[in-house]
Amino acid sequence: MIDLVAAFGLALAIEGLLCAAAPDTVRRTMNEVAQTPRERLRIVGVVTAGLGVAIVWGARKAGL
Q: What is the pLDDT of residues 7-50, one digit of tens each?
A: 899 999 999 999 999 999 999 999 999 999 999 999 999 999 99
Instruction: Say if residue 2's pLDDT is above 90.
Output: no
Its domain, for residue 45, covers 2-62
Work out the pLDDT band at 4, boundaries 50, 70, 90.
Answer: confident
Domain count along the chain: 1
Q: What is the pTM of this model?
A: 0.70
d(C-alpha 19, C-alpha 60), whole Å: 29
Q: Classify residue 26 as exposed, middle or buried by CB count within 10 Å of its CB (0-12, 13-18, 19+).
A: middle
